[in-house]
Structure formats: C-alpha cells, structure tokens
Structure 1
Amino acid sequence: MKHRGRHRRRRRARALRAALAGTALSLTAAATLISASQAQVDDGPGPLRALDSPAARGELRLTEHRVPARWLDRLSSSMGRPVGARTVLGSADRELREAADCTAEERAALPVAPAATRAYCWSEDDTRGWRPGAVTTSEGASADGRWGGHRVILSAWSSEEGGGHDDSGGEDGPGPRRGVGPSPADRPLSRVAFVDADDPDRPRHVSALLVVPVDGGRDYRSLGSPVSGMVWYGDRLLVTAGAGDRATLYAYDMDRVLRTTVGAGAVGRVPGGWSAHGYRYVLPAVAAYRPAGAAPRPAALSLDRTASPAGVVAGERVPAGAGRPARLWRYALGEEGARTGPLAADAAGHVDAVEVYETRAAGIGGVLAHRPSGSDRTGWYLTRAAREPGGRAVLGRQDGAGAEVVECGADRSKHCWSGETGSLSYDGRTGEVWSQSGRALFAVPLASIDAALR
C-alpha cells in the first residue's frame, strides 16, 4: 500500500512538472508575441535612495489602537469560545486543483519566467465575485513554521458585494465612526482562506471573514478593505486597509477565530445568532494602526526574517506618470505577546519606520526584502504592474547599487511575471516565494528568481 501511494505521488508529480513546463513554454511564446508593444518599458527604476532623516521616518509613524479586551471578551462570550487550528483545518472541505487539472486560461495567469514549481487553482464557485489579494504562510507563525502543528497558507480575497446588516455605530472603536465611510450594505467584504498544506497533493481550504468589533463588542462589521498586503508573525496576522478606512493596518489574533451560528448573507449580529455572509468563521481585529496625517498607505507587505531583528517591509503603490517616486520602508517587530499588535511600539503606542527608501518603480504590487546568509546587502524584490490591461507584471530586484529585472522571450521582454501584481511571501524553510494571480496560487523558488535576474 505504501509503495502504491509513493508511485501515485510520483506520477502526479511528473504530471504536474509536465503541465507547468508546457505552460511555461506556451506562455513564453505568447509573451514573445505580445511584448513587442511592451518591451520598451523604461530604463529601469535604478538604485534605491536611502532617506535617513528623522522627518522621512516620522512621516511613516503609526499609532497602535487596541480593541479593548472587554470588547473581545464580550464577543467571545456571545459567540462561543475561540476555535483552534485543529477545528478550523479539520473543517476544510474545499479542494484546490493541481496545475495539471487547471484550465489553460487559469494557467495563463502563471509567471512566464521563472516558471512556477508548484501551482494550484481555485474553483470558480469559490472565487466568483471575489478578487485575489495577498498571500502569506505559517513560516513566521512559530519556530517550526506551523500553526497548531500544520503547514498553512493564507490567501486573502476581497469582494465589492455588501454584507447587509453591519452596524458600525455605538461606542467608537478602531473602525469608522457612525456616518463615516460607505453604508453597511455597500461596504466591501474581505476574507482569508486557510489552506491546509500538509499534503501538497491534496490541499484543502476553509475561509473566515475578516471583521472589526463595534458597539463595545456587541457586534462586528466587515473589514471593508481590499487586502493587498498581509504578514503572519507569531499568533498575529497583519493586513492592509484601504483608503476609505481611518486605519492603515489591522492586526488579528490567530488564536481568536470565532464560529458563526447563522448561514445568512448578512454580517454581524442577526436574529438567531451571528452571521458572516455565509462563512462559518470570523476573525475579529484586535488592534488597528493609524497614520499621522496624510502618511502613505502600504499597498504591499511581507515578513523579513533575514534581518536582525526581524521586520515587516512595506511598499507604496504610485501609478506611472505620477511624477514622484514611491517609498519602501521597514517596521521592526516587537516581542511576541508584548503588545496587542505585532509591530514594535513605544509606551505611547507609536511605531516608527526604521528604514526608508525611494524607488522609481511605479505600480508596486508586491514587495519582499531578503539578505542572503553571509551577505551584507539586502535585495528588495518588487512586482510592478503591467502598462496595458491584460498585460503581465514586471519582477525585479533593487538595492543601493542598482536594479535588475527578469527578462523573457526572444525580444527580452520585461513583462514576465504573473498576469497580476500579486503580493510576495517568502518561506525560508522551502526557499519558495508564494503569490497568486487570477485563480492561480503558485510558488517559485527564490533561487530561480535570482538566476533569472539580469
């Protein structure tokens, strides 16, 4: 029996490699055809420019606002005790398809170069009306890179569809005050899919809606923001918030997943119990980070464990033609359990950037900082949006000395990455960089990216 299982896995692995190789070849040919109008993008973003002044770092200051413990306790008391990783992952009843079983259209969202070595596709039923967002893994969740003993990938999705009843009135918490922002029925929804990655041949997933406690913990509202950046560190999940929110980032406690009791389309307290737009779990925010004044909002986030101390790196998305550079910066991480949120804050709750850079890269969708062992230089990997609708993103690396980009095709097009500028998340245990585009979730070895850079 063991031998048959091993042979079956080998056959599936060969089929997967063949599918990905065939996809890479066909995408390379397609890229050669479409890149004639895109090959001359620009002269490259050039080197990073360090901004070392206190004023530059001060513009990026955040202030942590905790959700009062009594609010969270009241919510848990009303909804029931939080459920753990075993319960959440044990209820994962939706499957991802391996690349060999994906459609040609789905595989077309994968990178041209370097090719993905692992790829999966979401079903249309799970993604209809939702847009893919950030990806992160349990690599930073614990010393062994597991959550409750399991390898997990988190995948964020956002929908413009409102969630019905969703009262944000009452006592003011970290979310908008009454009358500020979109009405409850129009507020977008955001969720994270918990992907059980223990068996790479058969990943399963289940989703939880991201919510924010309101009215003293007697209710909750939807997050209402697309999640374009996400970091998992210890028992905390950090996600980006959109421009319509007073907060820039929200923090979630991975040990505080709550179970809903009513499968209605509404969000919040409803007759008969608690609802989350039909999802069986909610993840309530435990803290929000608000900027000082008109500080730039991070469009991309990732965890950098190669720095000492470990930190969260962020990238600002500035559209092409804006006439100004974008900023990249780093926040230090605090000690686990020291405060509500994962970022290192002072006694007043202030979080200051510890590094700030300027880049001429426009349309940043993903950011990753990595310092190889034994090196004194950190490379900043960025995905940049395609210049034309339906085009491909650009993947490159920058530091203070210069910039390199991945090229592909006979005409050396720079548009080689996925169909969308998804986030980047590095798993140091496998050496893979995870991202997603369209209905495809995929991994590329960082070593392959480095080898492809020119």
Structure 2
Amino acid sequence: MKHRGRHRRRRRGAALRAALAGTALALTATATIVSASQATVADNPGALKPLASTTDSARLQLQEHLVPRRSLDRLATAMGGTIGVADVLSTADHTLREAADCDSDDRDSLPVTPAADEAYCWDPADTLTDDWRPASVTTSSDADDDGLWGANRVVLAGWTHSTDTGPAASRGLARVAVINTNDPAHPSYSWVLLTVPSADGSTYRGLASQISGMAWYEDKLLVTTVQGSTDALYVYDLNRIQRTSVLADAIGRVRGGWSADGFRYVMPAVGSYSFTAGACSASGAPCPSALSVDRGTAPDSLVLGEWTSADSDRPARLWRYAFDEAPRRDGLLATDTFGRADAAEAYRTGASEIRGVLSYRPPGATDSLWYVGHLPGAMDGHGGLWRQDTKGAQAARCGSDDSHRCWAEGTGSLSYAPDTGEVWSVTDRMLFSVPLRSIDASLR
C-alpha cells in the first residue's frame, strides 16, 4: 500500500510547476524529433483542429460506474484479504534480460534513433508463443510525482491474449506485468490477471480487453477496453490485488478456492466509464487506443487518443479529462453530480493508427503540445512520433539518408517520467525507455 504519510502526491507549488514546465519544453523538442522520424511529408498529419461543435464534444462525455464497496469487500474477505504492489514484487518469479542478452530479432524492434537507454526482453517462458502480446505501459512516475510507489520504482506493462489462438479459456484476457525496476540491471516481475467482479461480489470473470492503453494515477489503474464495447475504460485499484488459491484454467470461484487461468494474483475492477453516446463507432463515440497521464495541467489530466485505420476518411480525436481532486476520489476522473465526466480539451488529428499519446502545456502557451505515435503499414512496422499543436505538426528524421523510419517496430503506448526524464514504451518484443536528452540530441 502507498505510504500516504510519506509519499502521498504532493500538491505542486510554483517550483514544481516550473520544473514540469521545463520538462514539458524538453519533451516538446523531443517529440518533435521523434515525430519527424515517422512519416513522409505526405503523411504529415497537419495542425490539430479543435472540436468546436457541441455535438462533437458531447460524444466524448463519460458516465462513471463504481462497483459498490460492499461487493468489493465481500470478494476480498472471501479470498483472504487484499495485498498491494509491494507484496506482488516480493514474490517476483520472472526476469527481464538486458538488450545485450536478447535475440537480434528482439533488438531490431527497438528505435533506430534516438537509441534506447534501457531495453529489456521478456522471460523466455512468456514468449514461447505469440498468444500473449504486450501493448501498453505506465510507471510509478505517473502514479506519484516522486516517481516511487512506497519504496519501489515500478513499471506496469499490459498484455492481451489473442482471441484466435491458444487455450480457449485464455483467449481475449488481459494481464499486467508488475515490474520491479529498483535495480535497472536486474528487473523482475510477477503477473496479475485483470478481472471484473460480479455485482454481488460473490465471484469474478476475466476482463476480455485489448489493453492498448493504460494509465496509473495515484492508486488507480485505468485501461482501455475492446473496440465496440459499451465500456470505454475499466478502473482498478492497486491496493486491491488478491491472491488465488487454485492454479487451474478456470476463472473465479472453483472447488477448493479461487482460480485465475493459472495466475497467482488477480485485480478486480472497482469501476468503469462508458460513453453516454453509446459504444464506439465511426459516427459516434471514439474508440480509445492510447492513454497517458499529463502532470503539466492543473489539475492533472488523463490524455486519450483514438484508433482509426490508415484508409479511414475520418480524422482521429485526441482529448483529455481532468482528474478529481476531491477527498476519497484519488485516481478517478472529475465528474458532475450525475457522475458524468466531460472532456476538458479535444481535437481532431490527421494521424491514423494511433498507438501512443503524450501531452504537455508549456507555461504561457495557449495550446497543448501533443505527441502522437502512429504505425502506418507503409513504414514496415517501424514508426515514430509526431508533435502537433493548433499551428501545425513537426517530425524528426534520422540517418545519412534522412530516413523517417526511426521509431520502434510495433510500438505500443507511451509513458513519460518527469522525475527521471525517460519516455517508456513497448514493442511487441521488448520494453524500453529513451532519455529526453537523447531525443533532444537527435532533433534536426
């Protein structure tokens, strides 16, 4: 559990605001670099266009649904109580290998430039097949501005199981690698299966979700759901992880205890958000594909990006919601008296196939700077980051031939750690981080 007395998120003063603003400017330059590396002039997404129509912005409104506390407590009691992140880390039984010890195919998926400062491939036991794939990442620097959760520096990586291959019981499930990065040379991790409790708290089912986006803020973890779902986001509490007692394929209450498809830990959802406009569609509510935390706004905010196909004639949307600062609503979105959350800022972008999004607003600026990772097929799997605002878009190029295929192959979501200056991401093979100073150095 987070030691609130020592590590509770501190309300920022002028000094911290200035520090974040400086970081924002650095990342701005950063994103500019990475941006250019990704696309040709013809692929330039152009300037962001604000959603001026109330009809358009209304499609972004969310309705909050919280699981009754009595139901969560009933489940926790039946399973022997709750544990926290530190307990999961203490039993880590998987190890990440540094890049030098990884296969060449794994290393080839990393960014060309800027080069990754830290890069790891997964425990071979987790990559024997392609059934499970990583797609999202968030860190304890998102969760708390001191960069730690309790005494630990933690990275969370979200994986989704294929819906077409592997054991039938596992198809479509979502799991999270809880990674101890206190020692960068020897990171270790354990798995936690994401679940959804029954209404009465008597059991749970597996979350069938494409967690392409994931954001950890205070003690809550928000994840994207499968496209077409009536739920846009699911919410988890990092202080409500629970142990299973039976290692079987089944999920939920079984004879002799509790099972989770062979995983030792489960995390039941504590809530969800659905669009009041209905399930995501081409003409209605968006399909969120990327999430991140922006600590440069007041209050802090959740940033989202929408997935659209490369051949779509409809521009994707980028938008944000404010986090709630009310007591006892740590990590939840700010809502009105009816539990509805409205977008605080929203745009359309020419970028397609968005897999990662970051946003920062430098002091004195009227527009936010948005960093968008996208992966059009024309780039042979490699992509990059565009920096966009309402004035235009910028990208970086690399190499003697001015190549724009600089970013990672099959890259996933993005997470920025202001306390360390790192941008974390995942490919379908590796976990990596890129220092802002390296990105700055590659800016042309």
Shorter chain as normaliser: what TM range?
Answer: 0.7 to 0.9
Deviation at 1:436, TM superposition (A): 0.5
* Counterpart residue number, 1:124: 124
* Counterpart residue number, 1:289: 273
What amino acid is the match of 1:287?
A: G
Q: Deviations over 1:177-219 (max 9, x none)?
A: xxxxxxx947511000100011111111001000000151111
What amino acid is the match of 2:432?
A: F
**Which of 411, 430, 441 is matched with 2:420 structurally?**
430
* Counterpart residue number, 1:47: 47
TM-score of the aligned structures, taking structure 1 as reference length:
0.83
* Counterpart residue number, 2:135: 133
CA distance in 2, matches of 1:272, 1:164: 26
Q: Deviations over 1:353-375 (max 9, x none)?
A: 01011110111110000234675
**Which of 220, 234, 252 is matched with 2:236 structurally?**
252
Deviation at 1:337, TM superposition (A): 4.7
Relative distance call for 1:452 and 1:132 in structure 2 (3 A) is: same
Count residues with an aligned counterpart. Answer: 400
Relative distance call for 1:446 and 1:395 in structure 2 (3 A) is: same
What amino acid is the match of 2:144?
A: S
Q: 1:154 aligns to what SS in structure 2?
A: strand
Of the two, which has the highest radius of gyration? 1
CA distance in 1, matches of 2:327, 2:214: 19
The alignment's C-alpha RMSD in Å is 2.3
* Counterpart residue number, 2:384: 394
CA distance in 2, matches of 1:307, 1:453: 25
* Counterpart residue number, 2:342: 352
1:301 and 2:291 correspond: yes
> For structure 1, which segment, 41-50 or 282-291, has the greater mean C-alpha deviation from structure 2 after superposition?
41-50
**Which of 239, 257, 261 is matched with 2:223 structurally?**
239
1:221 and 2:196 correspond: no
Q: Flag as ranges the 4+ runs of structure 1 deviating above 6 A.
A: 162-165
> For structure 1, which segment, 156-165 or 295-304, has the greater mean C-alpha deviation from structure 2 after superposition?
156-165
Q: Are the equivalent residues in 1 in contact too, given 2:411–2:428 (CA < 8 A)? A: no
CA distance in 2, matches of 1:265, 1:46: 48
Matches within 5 A, 1:7-406: 40=40, 42-127=42-127, 128=129, 129-160=131-162, 185=169, 188-292=172-276, 293=278, 294-335=284-325, 337-339=327-329, 342-372=332-362, 377-388=367-378, 390-406=380-396
CA distance in 2, matches of 1:56, 1:410: 44
CA distance in 1, matches of 2:43, 2:376: 15
Q: Deviations over 1:312-357 (max 9, x none)?
A: 1101111112112111001001126543861111111101001011
What amino acid is the match of 2:123?
A: S
CA distance in 1, matches of 2:346, 2:111: 29
Q: 1:73 aligns to what SS in structure 2?
A: helix
What amino acid is the match of 1:150?
A: N
> For structure 1, which segment, 278-287 or 40-49, has the greater mean C-alpha deviation from structure 2 after superposition?
40-49
Relative distance call for 1:218 and 1:373 in structure 2 (3 A) is: same
Structure 2, unaligned runs of 5 or more: 1-36, 279-283
CA distance in 2, matches of 1:163, 1:211: 20
Q: 2:200 aligns to what SS in structure 1?
A: helix
Q: Are the equivalent residues in 2 in contact too, given 1:367–1:383 (CA < 8 A)? A: yes
* Counterpart residue number, 1:17: none
Q: Deviations over 1:139-186 (max 9, x none)?
A: 132342222221100000010269999xxxxxxxxxxxxxxxxxx947
What amino acid is the match of 1:397?
A: R
Q: Deviations over 1:296-323 (max 9, x none)?
A: 1210010000112210110111111211
What amino acid is the match of 2:138?
A: T
Matches within 5 A, 1:405-444: 405-444=395-434
Q: Deviations over 1:354-411 (max 9, x none)?
A: 1011110111110000234675553211111132484311322111111111212333
Q: Deviations over 1:272-304 (max 9, x none)?
A: 111111111001100010112241121001000
Q: 1:319 aligns to what SS in structure 2?
A: coil
CA distance in 2, matches of 1:223, 1:158: 10
Q: Are the equivalent residues in 1 in contact too, given 2:83–2:242 (CA < 8 A)? A: yes
* Counterpart residue number, 2:27: none
What amino acid is the match of 1:284?
A: P
TM-score of the aligned structures, taking structure 2 as reference length:
0.85
Deviation at 1:427, TM superposition (A): 0.3
Deviation at 1:430, TM superposition (A): 0.5
CA distance in 2, matches of 1:54, 1:377: 19
Structure 1, unaligned runs of 5 or more: 1-34, 166-183
Relative distance call for 1:109 and 1:288 in structure 2 (3 A) is: same
Q: Are the equivalent residues in 1 in contact too, given 2:218–2:330 (CA < 8 A)? A: no
Q: 2:231 aligns to what SS in structure 1?
A: coil
CA distance in 2, matches of 1:273, 1:162: 29
What amino acid is the match of 1:251?
A: V
Q: Are the equivalent residues in 1 in contact too, given 2:247–2:263 (CA < 8 A)? A: yes
Relative distance call for 1:337 and 1:414 in structure 2 (3 A) is: farther
> For structure 1, which segment, 241-250 or 58-67, has the greater mean C-alpha deviation from structure 2 after superposition?
241-250
Deviation at 1:59, TM superposition (A): 1.0
Q: Deviations over 1:240-283 (max 9, x none)?
A: 01125321000101100000001112211111111111111001
